[in-house]
Chains A and B, each alone.
Chain A
Amino acid sequence: MVDNFLAGSAALFGDPFTIGVFIFGVIGGMLFGAIPGVSMLTLAAILLPFTASLEPAQGVMLFAVIYCTGTYGGAITAILFNIPGAPENAPTAFDGYPMTRKGQSGKAVGAAVLCSAIGGVSSALIMMVATEPLANWAISNIGPPEIFALVFFGLAVASSVGGRTMWKGWMSVLLGLLIATIGQDPVGGINRYNFGISDLAAGIAFVPAIMGFFAVSEIFVQAEKKAVGMYKAPKLSLDFPTILELWSHKIAVLRSILVGFFCGILPGIGATLAAFMGYGEAVRWSKNKDSFGKGNIEGVISSETANNAATGAAMIPLLALGLPGGAMTALMVGVFQMHDLEPGPMVFYNSPELIWIVFAAMFYANVSILFIGLLETKTILHLLKIPFQFLAPMILLLASIGSYIGRGLVLDVMIMFCTGIMGFLLRRSGYSIPGIVLGIILGKIGEQNFAQGMQMVHYDVLEYLSRPICLLLIIAGFLTLFTGIYKALSYTFKS
């Protein structure tokens, strides 16, 4: 393994053009992740056609690097502006933004930098050591029933955070699931809920929906405060957390690495669920549960460690099985296909040099988060000084471009602003925006895997539950669900 890693490193740093592509990926991912309104997906969608002129290894490596650094970059906007750069950064905003409001933005961003790097490097190392055995384990133990069970558990966790009440948490998640049913059904390809609009047959693209719910709704929330004269500019601080402070959260970091890696390895799940589960577990095991959501640094730590730990793991199903774990890895499949390659077990035998350049690049990209991230952070934090009336149109336009570029449809820009208005109204009434977004992302995956799972077991629920991992996750999901209902009802009827 060490020899392969060194060979990959030599190939990466031996060619000046490859180094240039690597640096472009590192900086591009961080910038597009950290600029409010656009995301790493915007950059990836723009760059996809250009990868045809790159070597296959350079193309895949570029996307893998953008994935690592972009996942970190999205935390910056989540913390500073309450606008998660990507859905996987949504739980980071729960505590990161309250920290900014308290004048602790430097601490929150510093924790995000360090924990993203730790999560990403650990994940890259495990990926290098264990891609093949883990892929084999996943093939024999993880099927549609397990993936559906994990989606169910993840949605149950998501419903327990974010909304003003348990009911509103579930209503948010179910609204997201309902939005995800728009478009073709994943089994028979039958059009659903297109309301006579032909462009809706392909469903609601999740980038415009995410931009709308996160970025546009936040702009409207702040604009409303500005309109009534209640706007307060967030406070700038550059006091990073001390090593001792972060060391006291080592258990949360370790737990989030495990949670993130497990979620990342499952096809279709990716970093978003990892971040929610990492956050949820941090709350579950904390002695000080009430402090979450009010600026507890452990919330930032657990979410950022978990989502970056999922990046390396998400490459395992992609490279070993040819199954993308999320939107970014799905775009990577596009890069493979542009070069007449198919990701899957044969890549390890046909193009081992490609695999090891990608592995090495991901390792170094995560290390570079620590160094470039700290430098970048000091610059990005100054964005807080820009008056809101100048920042807002920039964010709205970047989000419009980001939404339009994916499919080239003006309808997507319209959807983004409509979801923005919806998000604004729902937030005012105490609904959970991250819950809605997670519902949108996991809706199709959940339905598809439920259908496949049911077909696998011939609709026999007992056979479905005889699979141990599936049973464990379903029980965990129902426990979370029933605990939530019990708490909600006992609170409602308490005088």
Chain B
Amino acid sequence: MSKLKTNHKVETLIWLTIVAVFFVFSFEFNQEIEIYKFGATGWPRVIVGLLLLVTLGNFLHLYKKGSEAQFGRVGISDDEEEISYDGIGSIQKLIAILALPLIFAWSLKPVGFYSATPVFIALTIMLLGEKRIKWVLGITLFIYLVLILLFMVILNAPLPQGNISPFYDFSAFMLTLNTKLHQSLNY
């Protein structure tokens, strides 16, 4: 009897889509290489072909055994709990947790590291369940200062500065402070 569930079908469909996309896009660079018989597409197409085969093997396993782990597999923990969502609230929270870093990464170019970071820290702490505002602000400040001290002051690491005012101006202000600090330490 089939043990297939909707999520198994979706999973297989995603893998087949990956296979199809990578196979179709391989025609974009289907050029011969004079010194190499298999060209630029040989290796990726073999991988795509093998991926198709193991996806079918996986589908067979899902059909017969569902999500059951294969007996004797090494390196998988047997104490992974099944996550159960108690309502729409926890799903929304998870989506926010997953989306926030993407928004942070996207904001690095226009806003810059120096301005985006404190907001990101505070929001992450709050999303992870901290409700005490004093703690949120205190820990945000602490993490921000540690990062600035380590990467800006000590290691002089180049971090994104942003390109929109007033964020860019704030980054410039931070870097000027750093330069002055280094000058005062050197002379």
- Closest Cβ of chain B: how far from A14's Cβ, in Å? 28
Q: Is the CB of B61 within 8 A of A488?
A: yes
**B90 within 8 Å of A (CB atoms):** yes
**A230 within 8 Å of B (CB atoms):** yes
Report chain B residues within 8 Å CB of A160. 74
**A213 within 8 Å of B (CB atoms):** no
Q: Is the CB of A91 within 8 A of B75?
A: yes
Q: Is the CB of A293 within 8 A of B74?
A: yes
Contact partner of A178 (CB less than 8 A), chosen from B44, B72, B83, B130, is B44
Contact with B along A141-161 (1 / 0, CB 8 A): 000000000000000000011
- Closest Cβ of chain A: how far from B143's Cβ, in Å? 5
Report chain B residues within 8 Å CB of A174. 47, 50-51, 54
Contact with A along B31-59 (1 / 0, CB 8 A): 10101111110011001101100110110
Indicate the member of A227, A434, A455 with the most B CB atoms within 10 Å: A227
Binds B, one of A190-198, A253-261, A342-350, A361-369: A190-198
Q: Is the CB of B76 within 8 A of A293?
A: yes
- Closest Cβ of chain A: how far from B149's Cβ, in Å? 13
Name the prevailing secondary structure of the A interface residues: helix
Contact with B along A183-227 (1 / 0, CB 8 A): 001011011110100000000000000000000100010011111
Indicate the member of B18, B58, B75, B157 with the most A CB atoms within 10 Å: B75
* Chain A interface residue number, banded: 35 or more
Binds B, one of A114-122, A263-271, A320-328, A387-395: A387-395
Q: Is the CB of A227 within 8 A of B70?
A: no
| Assembled-state Cα–Cα distance A401/B86 (Å) | 35
Known A-B contacts A165-B58, A491-B70; the reply to A400 vs B105 at CB < 8 A is: yes
Q: Is the CB of A492 within 8 A of B143?
A: no
Contact partner of B51 (CB less than 8 A), chosen from A178, A185, A390, is A178
Q: Is the CB of A421 within 8 A of B98?
A: yes
Q: Is the CB of A447 within 8 A of B77?
A: no
Binds B, one of A53-61, A311-319, A404-412, A468-476: A404-412
Q: Is the CB of B128 within 8 A of A392?
A: yes
Report chain B residues within 8 Å CB of A178. 18, 22, 44, 47-48, 51
| Assembled-state Cα–Cα distance A488/B72 (Å) | 10
Report chain B residues within 8 Å CB of A418. 102
Of residues 328 through 368 on chain A, the ones whose CB sits less than 8 Å from some CB of chain B are none
Contact with A along B18-35 (1 / 0, CB 8 A): 100010011001010101
Q: Is the CB of B83 within 8 A of A230?
A: yes
**A462 within 8 Å of B (CB atoms):** no
Report chain A residues within 8 Å CB of B151. 401
Q: Is the CB of B72 within 8 A of A404?
A: no
Contact partner of B78 (CB less than 8 A), chosen from A294, A413, A491, is A294
Q: Is the CB of A290 within 8 A of B72?
A: yes
What are 22 pairs between A and B in contact, CB < 8 Å?
A: A163-B73, A165-B58, A166-B73, A167-B54, A174-B50, A185-B43, A187-B40, A192-B26, A192-B44, A223-B94, A226-B129, A228-B84, A283-B74, A294-B79, A394-B143, A400-B108, A401-B151, A413-B108, A414-B106, A429-B67, A432-B75, A434-B75
